[in-house]
Amino acid sequence: MRTDAIFIGIEVEDSVAGDAALAAKLEEVCPVDIFASEGGKVGINEGNVDECILCAMCIKASDGAVTVHKLYSGETLAPSAS
């Protein structure tokens, strides 16, 4: 997780970090381009992390393997029950 962020921290479980299909899916669903597919691995565009709009699309797309931390409040964004 990024340590110099002000508002948001993004965490990706190690077990899925090398999943090329998930990397492409995250890159597609994120409306603020936080995720990138980097050589078949999940990459994070560090400069975009604090642009997160807390939509939880990454959490849903990853079946909970991505965690969004609200650094300003100490809360973690949880997937909504659907």
pLDDT in tens, 13-43: 999 999 999 999 999 999 999 999 999 999 9
19-28: b or e for each residue (b if 16 or more CB lie within 10 Å)? Answer: beebbebbbe
Query: Residue 48 pLDDT > 90, yes or no?
Result: yes
Residue 23 maps to a domain? yes
SS3 assignment, position 4: coil
Mean pLDDT over 9-15 rounds to 94
- What domain range is 47 assigned to? 8-75
Of 81 and 6, the one with more pLDDT: 6
pLDDT, mean of residues 50-64: 95
Note whether residue 58 is domain-resident. Answer: yes
* Tokens 């077990």 found at: 15
Tell me if the pTM is above 0.85. Answer: yes
The total of structural domains in the chain comes to 1
Query: CB count, 10 Å around CB of 74?
Result: 7
Alpha carbon of 11 to those of 8, 52, 64, 71: distances in Å? 10, 13, 10, 12
Task: Report the CATH number at residue 59.
Answer: 3.30.70.20
Would 80 be classed as within a structural domain? no
